[in-house]
Structure 1
């Protein structure tokens, strides 16, 4: 009888603790999103983007060719051309964007690092998880983006408890009242 009581107590404790989101479970659900590319759109037909390239050495180093002469009424004519040297930084860009003169380029790579905190909210049914990522392999195109690439970044992920366990959710979920 004593053994049965211990087993029942152990099962009760395990079932209760499974409702808490652990750091391990949060990491397991976040990690599949990484590594990922940090990208930036280059507007090849926009003279304003040409101006961003001029103070850099991207043309001198052979990543791009800049057509500096801006032709009046030349909208939709490309001014920025990517060379073979830049091919490894060019990312897949939707056809609609390409037809508008937009090319997405890799600026850096982002890797999951660690869970730094788990905060349970809304009666244990929701959670906010803070974690850090590491930015590596910064590309030459980072200098024309408006992004400030730092070595380590802090991020947040939002979770909800469903009948089958914890799931990542969009922080703009109207049911999320965590902050």
Structure 2
């Protein structure tokens, strides 16, 4: 009798571990964050020796906001040196440059962080023995910096994206969008 009881418990545990029940929102959020690297930092490359970039920063009045200092004129001996330098106020928004970027006078600046604010799970479907669940998630921009003026898009708007979860090898995996 004891052996029969233990056999029943073992079968229940094995069957219970092999289930592909619909995951909860927290599990889906963790899967998406891990697979798609959220939260993401949105950045922008500024070519510090490029007159066109200097003009763009002037037009956006980032020099008046005390984020950058721009040389409006250059002497012949200064040709090739950076036109744009970053002030102390800009330091929290600067991203560490690689050696190649430093050689080319390129500075990456942080624009904002892209985070997931909402997740909606669709109804699961099964075909060819595979279970899938459509997922819709909302992306918002947080920690928006003064350099966000460099981007053409409106960072105050949310973006809705979709993905699909696939149950494979006894766990849920994200099918890359």
Q: TM-score, normalised by structure 1?
A: 0.72
Q: Does 1:57 align with 2:56?
A: no
Give, in angstroms, the shift of residue 76 of structure 1. Answer: 4.5
Instruction: Give the counterpart of 1:108 among 112, 132, 136.
Output: 112
Pairwise mapping of residues 140-155 of structure 1 onto structure 2 (< 5 A)?
A: 140-155=146-161
Q: Structure 1, unaligned stretches of length 5 or more?
A: 172-179
Which is worse superposed, 127-136 or 43-52?
Answer: 127-136
CA deviations over 1:121-140 (Å, ceiling 9, x no partner):
78335554221122122111
Secondary structure in structure 1 of the residue aligned to 2:63: coil
Q: Distance in 2 between matches of 1:8 and 1:46?
A: 69
The answer for unaligned runs of 5 or more in structure 2 is none
Q: Between Structure 1 and Structure 2, how many residues are aligned?
A: 168
Partner residue of 2:103 out of 94, 99, 103? 99
8 Å contact kept, 1:23–1:118: no
1:131 and 2:134 aligned: no
* Structure 1 CA distance for aligned equivalents of residues 19 and 131 of structure 2: 13
Question: Does 1:17 pair with 2:23?
Answer: no
TM-score (normalizing by structure 2): 0.73
Q: What is the aligned-residue RMSD (CA, Å)?
A: 3.5
Partner residue of 1:31?
33
Counterparts of 1:164 and 1:60, CA distance in 2: 57
1:175 aligns to what? none
The structural deviation recorded for 1:113 is 1.2
Which stretch shows the higher mean deviation, 45-54 or 91-100?
A: 91-100
Q: How far apart, in 1, do the equivalents of 2:122 and 2:104 lie? A: 43
Q: Whole-Å Cα distance in 1 between the matches of residues 80 and 123 of structure 2?
A: 49
Give the secondary-structure state (helix, strand or coil) at the position aligned to 1:141.
Answer: helix
State the partner residue of 1:177. none
Query: Whose Rg is larger?
Result: 2
Q: Equivalent residue of 2:82, what SS? A: coil
